[in-house]
């Protein structure tokens, strides 16, 4: 569990910017993300387009495509928050999988093989994949077997982004010498998005939008659509002064003097989020040093900014 380190004392002004959960509803939607529960049947792109139509948004974007028959967590960004969803593509994922063996085998053999298929594994993406078919390494963080009944094996798998569970089941079957396939799959985690009270169906979203438009009740919509900052809570963060915000919005990298505080778990080369004192997401970038070195540095560039999410002019220009 990371701790927050204070580098300098600073205050934020209420004259500009806004706490993420206090944004006016129109701005909240424009900078919103949805922890969407994808149903079985439609493609991820179809679900994406339905969200866009429901919210009358200009654009939407999803993180981590799910096959049509696969259900579960599909994070969707709305309008200006679509680019934030890209930060989830490399985040760890979790699935509940029902694997069907082609012949019965001793339960002990199943448990032993699944234990071997943890840690680093080699995978070649399946034929129907959107990536180049070449051997690559993926990390399996954990496997928890929930139930074994006849030829069916129900398990939870935590894995690195880009792991193909369908191929994983196939390879398990090959290792057992009997064959196997993925019968059902549900994603239960994608980075910071989990199956909790924020998980929203398309029906929930549609109803919430109509409550807002027809009854002027935005409370349901705020439960369905979350501030875009939720999508970066899995990343270590650096908090900056009000005076540094607009410079970064105009393309500057983050120097030591602009930092107020930071998480203590930052390593050199980490992807980190840069936030205001109000908790607004300003940008993301690559850390040039670890937490201790950043804390002790009085000058120099600490973060190489890669993507800017806040619009210039949100905070006043305080740089030359």
DSSP element (H, E) containing 185: strand 180-190
Q: Which of 21, 37, 48, 67 is catalytic?
A: 67
Give the helix ranges, DSSP H, for the chain: 25-30, 44-55, 107-116, 165-176, 202-215, 219-224, 242-249, 291-296
Residues 6+ apart with CB under 8 A from 100: 151, 152, 153, 180, 181, 182, 183
Q: Is 202 helix (H, G, I), strand (E, B) or coil?
A: helix
Measure CA 285 to chain center: 16
Cα→Cα distances 216→34, 87, 195, 208, 226, Å: 21, 33, 28, 10, 18
Contact 204, 224 (CB under 8 A): yes
Measure CA 218 to chain center: 25
Contact 309, 282 (CB under 8 A): yes
Could you give the CA distance from residue 97 to residue 94 in angstroms, rounded to a whole number? 10
The answer to whether residue 67 is catalytic is yes
End-to-end CA distance of the chain: 39
Q: Is 231 helix (H, G, I), strand (E, B) or coil?
A: helix
Closest listed residue to residue 219, CA positions, set 205, 234, 208, 207 = 208
Active site residues per annotation: 67
């Amino acid at each position: 569990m990371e701790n927050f380190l204070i580098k300098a004392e600073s205050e934020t002004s209420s004259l500009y910017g806004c706490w993420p959960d206090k944004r006016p509803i129109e701005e909240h939607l424009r900078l919103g993300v949805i922890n969407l529960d994808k149903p079985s049947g439609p493609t991820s792109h179809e679900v994406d387009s339905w969200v866009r139509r429901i919210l009358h948004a200009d654009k939407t974007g999803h993180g981590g495509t799910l096959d049509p028959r696969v259900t579960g967590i599909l994070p969707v960004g709305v309008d200006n928050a679509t680019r934030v969803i890209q930060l989830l593509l490399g985040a760890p994922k979790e699935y509940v999988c029902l694997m069907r063996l082609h012949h019965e085998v001793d339960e002990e053999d199943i448990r032993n093989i699944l234990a071997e298929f943890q840690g680093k594994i080699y995978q070649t993406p399946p034929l129907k994949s959107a990536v180049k078919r070449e051997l690559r390494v993926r990390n399996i963080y954990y496997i928890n077997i929930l139930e074994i009944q006849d030829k069916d094996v129900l398990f939870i798998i935590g894995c690195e982004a880009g792991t193909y569970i369908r191929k994983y089941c196939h390879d398990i079957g090959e290792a057992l010498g009997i064959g196997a396939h993925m019968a059902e799959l549900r994603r239960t985690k994608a980075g910071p998005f989990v199956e909790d009270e924020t998980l929203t169906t398309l029906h929930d979203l549609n109803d919430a939008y109509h409550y807002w438009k027809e009854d002027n009740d935005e409370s349901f919509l705020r439960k369905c659509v979350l501030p875009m900052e939720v999508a970066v809570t899995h990343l270590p963060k650096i908090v900056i002064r009000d005076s540094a915000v607009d410079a970064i919005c105009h393309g500057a990298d983050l120097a030591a003097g602009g930092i107020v505080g930071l998480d203590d778990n930052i390593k050199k080369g980490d992807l980190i989020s840069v936030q205001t004192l109000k908790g607004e997401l300003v940008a993301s970038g690559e850390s040039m040093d670890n937490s201790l070195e950043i804390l002790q540095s009085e000058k120099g560039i600490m973060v190489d900014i890669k993507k800017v999410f806040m619009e210039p002019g949100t905070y006043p220009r305080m740089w030359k």
